């Protein structure tokens, strides 16, 4: 009986996690794209990406970043979540100038995130 309850709650929590993840991803992706991620079994990559895809760096001295797209941040802290900025992950690392700041928001590529996930499991 304990096993049945355990399985039931595990399935319930997985369903809840999936719905929360889908809601988060819907800020950047369409329902069709999210359905494709499910079909490809790539949702775990996107779940990992929400927590690990973004990082901040200072603009290197002498580096011209005027060609980088700009993101606007409201408030004191910068959310490090690519969906907050409606950014889609790509096969290349992306860089965004933070409006009114000397910092850059970097968003890791799907390939880098996939490698990180594999190395984390070892």
Other Cβ atoms closer than 10 A to 83? 21
Q: Which residues contact 108 (CB under 8 A, 6 or more apart)?
A: 49, 52, 53, 54, 55, 89, 93, 116
pLDDT value at residue 74 = 72
Q: Is 46 in contact with 18 (CB distance < 8 Å)?
A: no
- pLDDT category at 1 given cuts 50, 70, 90 is low
- pLDDT category at 106 given cuts 50, 70, 90 is very high
The structure's pTM equals 0.79
Residue 121 backbone class (left: φ over 0; alpha: ψ -120 to 50; beta: rest): alpha
Share of the chain above pLDDT 70, in %: 81
Instruction: Give the tens place of pLDDT for each residue, 48-91.
Output: 999 999 999 999 899 888 899 999 877 667 778 999 999 999 99
Which range marks the domain in which residue 6 is found?
2-121
Other Cβ atoms closer than 10 A to 3? 7
Number of structural domains (the chain) is 1
């Amino acid at each position: 009986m304990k096993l049945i309850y355990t399985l039931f709650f595990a399935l319930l929590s997985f369903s809840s996690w999936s719905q929360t993840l889908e809601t988060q991803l819907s800020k950047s992706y369409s329902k069709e794209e999210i359905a494709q991620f499910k079909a490809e079994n790539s949702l775990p990559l996107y779940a990992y990406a929400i927590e690990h895809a973004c990082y901040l760096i200072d603009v290197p001295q002498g580096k011209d970043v005027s060609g980088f797209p700009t993101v606007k941040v409201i408030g004191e802290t910068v959310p490090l979540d690519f969906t907050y900025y409606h950014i889609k992950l790509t096969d290349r690392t992306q860089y965004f100038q933070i409006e009114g700041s000397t910092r850059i928001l970097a968003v890791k590529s799907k390939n880098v995130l996939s490698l990180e996930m594999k190395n984390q499991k070892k």
